[in-house]
């Protein structure tokens, strides 16, 4: 019997699996990748890769890309670097992916290292950054000028990110050439059940994307 990849139970992926099923998780990843306007040639960074579910999806969506995936991992999470490497091997994409431990608040890469960057519901979990907007800025720092990005997180929760329209204006003033924001995705994406909009579930979903 063929071995299946194990993508663990990272929250909120755990919640997505438990409440909505794997199809919704795949839809969330697909939505992120669809907003990454990239030809797939060059280097991509997956920030907070968890068990590498999104990493593997990107590897399959961009077969020419070399991908670096990083995560803090740790005992409190039900995944590890070895699990990521095994999943990539099972999925047949291990030769194009490297995994490394790191902190999303202080990425261990020089400025403008990557042609593209993605992150899925990670930034709000970064405990080493009091202001989660700084995590976004750090992610953008390592993207090349003219490179692209697609980040999904709880961007519509003002307690975490404040006024997102104002934040988008700030990013543009800081040199990001194009930034688009779509908020409250749980109310707009057809594959997410309506009851997810309740505050105690996954509310305030948003995406920022485009080109540095």
Question: Mean pLDDT of all residues in the chain?
Answer: 87
Comparing 20-24, 26-30, 175-179, 187-191, the range with the smallest average pLDDT is: 20-24
Distance, CA of 203 to chain centre: 17
Q: Which domain holds residue 30?
A: 16-211
Phi, psi of 115 (to 5 degrees): -80, -20
Mean of the pLDDT values across residues 5-26?
Answer: 54
136 CB-near residues (< 8 Å, 6+ apart): 123, 151, 167, 171, 208
CB 106 within 8 A of CB 128: yes
- Residue 8 inside a domain? The answer is no
- Residue 187 inside a domain? The answer is yes
- Residue 106 inside a domain? The answer is yes
Supply the pLDDT for residue 2: 62
Which residue do the tokens 């669809």 mark? 34
172: three-class secondary structure by DSSP:
helix
Please, what's the b/e burial string for 164-186 (b: 16 or more CB within 10 A of its CB; e: otherwise)? beebbeebeeeebeebebbbebb
pTM above 0.85, yes or no: yes
Question: Does residue 206 carry a pLDDT above 60?
Answer: yes
Supply the pLDDT for residue 186: 81
* Count: domains in the chain: 1
Alpha carbons 22 and 155: distance in angstroms, whole number: 23
- Residue 78 inside a domain? The answer is yes
Return the CATH number at 174. Answer: 3.40.50.150
CB 120 within 8 A of CB 90: no
- Residue 10 inside a domain? The answer is no
- Residue 11 inside a domain? The answer is no
**Would you place residue 9 in the very low, low, confident or very high pLDDT band (cuts 50, 70, 90)?**
very low
- Residue 173 inside a domain? The answer is yes
- Residue 9 inside a domain? The answer is no
**Would you place residue 96 in the very low, low, confident or very high pLDDT band (cuts 50, 70, 90)?**
very high
């Amino acid at each position: 019997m063929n071995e299946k990849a194990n993508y663990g139970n990272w929250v909120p992926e755990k919640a997505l699996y438990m409440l909505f099923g794997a199809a919704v998780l795949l839809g969330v990843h697909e939505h992120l990748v669809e907003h990454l306007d990239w030809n797939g040639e060059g280097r991509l960074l997956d920030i907070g890769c968890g068990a590498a579910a999104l990493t593997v999806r990107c590897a399959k969506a961009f077969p020419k890309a070399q991908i670096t995936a990083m995560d803090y991992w740790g005992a409190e999470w039900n995944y590890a670097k070895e699990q990521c490497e095994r999943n990539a091997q099972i999925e047949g994409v291990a030769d194009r992916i490297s995994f490394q431990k790191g902190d999303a608040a202080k990425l261990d890469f020089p400025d403008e290292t990557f042609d593209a960057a993605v992150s899925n519901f990670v930034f709000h979990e970064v405990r080493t950054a009091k202001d989660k907007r700084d995590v976004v800025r750090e992610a953008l720092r390592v993207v090349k000028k003219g490179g692209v990005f697609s980040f999904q997180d709880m961007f519509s929760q003002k307690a975490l990110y404040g006024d997102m329209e104002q934040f988008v204006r700030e990013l543009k003033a800081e040199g990001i050439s194009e930034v688009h924001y779509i908020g409250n995705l749980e109310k707009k994406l057809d594959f997410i059940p309506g009851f997810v909009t309740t505050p105690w579930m996954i509310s305030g979903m948003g995406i920022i994307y485009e080109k540095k």
